[in-house]
Structure 1
């Protein structure tokens, strides 16, 4: 009985560990497209000859057939209006003599959703040059809203910009910093004590996260600007007075 119980416990632990590790498994894709992005797929077969036919399939459905006549003649262009989500392309060759080759392994394509970017009102619309603690800074949160959830291995990159009294602040790190978040929210904290009116905007891009071996075809990540700007005013503190007789 003791041996049976021990084996049962060990079996249960193995199953639990398997479930735990599988819950961390991530799914990656060969290529990621955003907005109106497209990519050309090539059938790599060293014995491909003129007059052979190359068949292309999207998620199991035939979408094109080309008669090979030289380099590039059988390439397939993924449409710019590919629906959002995961897709598998496969290819198969029929020789000029009518012999069929095997179906290729799938080539995975993920079409990313469109996104918008909004900036929250600042935590302090105004703060004084001489303040301290939480009253000596102000935070703005940028929130990216994709039209549908993102796949594993895709995140965001944020670029903040600001003007002071109408003049661009360069570099922006002179007046504050963001929290480097690659999630759908990124926070910029203004910490400058230089008085003025600061107007903030931001841009968000898609990026491949570390560990993702895929390719983001639009390397700029399909940037989107914030829909509105936000303003923070840093006011100067009064000078130190000296006391004198009034008469």
Structure 2
């Protein structure tokens, strides 16, 4: 259900609160009653106590989460939380026939312990990236999602979405993107296209490994082939996944290997 929630547009919800709700659904089912204190729930979700308190208040006001206080003898009453019938209906009414191809990558990404080069990604980083993964094809391409679409699905405004995209690009998680056009004369408005780097450590641990194949063009010089291969290696290869390095190096040098074999065959025939 949490994968479906990522693609759902919720009005008047902040990105931190949406992240909380997505993680809540990831950990607990719609029917589960969760009896945890603020600190325990914050630790389970992977956010601060303050975000948990604010999320419960906002979600209760939006009738998306039920908060019960149960008195058991002396002392403070314990709190119990459960997804509301309204949230269940919203998810059911917005059932998407599209089959997600990166469910395991999304689950891995949303986990609070994810780190990259020792630096934890922020909640908004992870939420936006999870939404992009939910719309991505098998090869990491995200089409037909404008800044406005991403804004409505994350709770970020357009400028913050753009800022997050630049950050993810600078970290190498978004490899590149093609800007959309709103007033194209010939083909009409077009939406942006994003290319996710599925080789990245943050994404590669939660799904099938991606493979990059470099095919050198015949009309390019040998040195230029090496330069282009080096650039691709720099952009897409994680040094902790050396199998990718061997595959690409083999593809770059395959012509040299074939030429060497041909030379050896010719030499043996001449003897």
| TM-score of the aligned structures, taking structure 2 as reference length | 0.17
With a CA cutoff of 8 Å and minimum separation of 6, indicate the structure with the bigger relative contact order: 1
More helix by share: 2
TM-score (norm. length: structure 1): 0.18
- Which structure has more strand as a fraction of its residues? 1
Indicate the structure (1 or 2) with the bigger Cα radius of gyration. Answer: 1
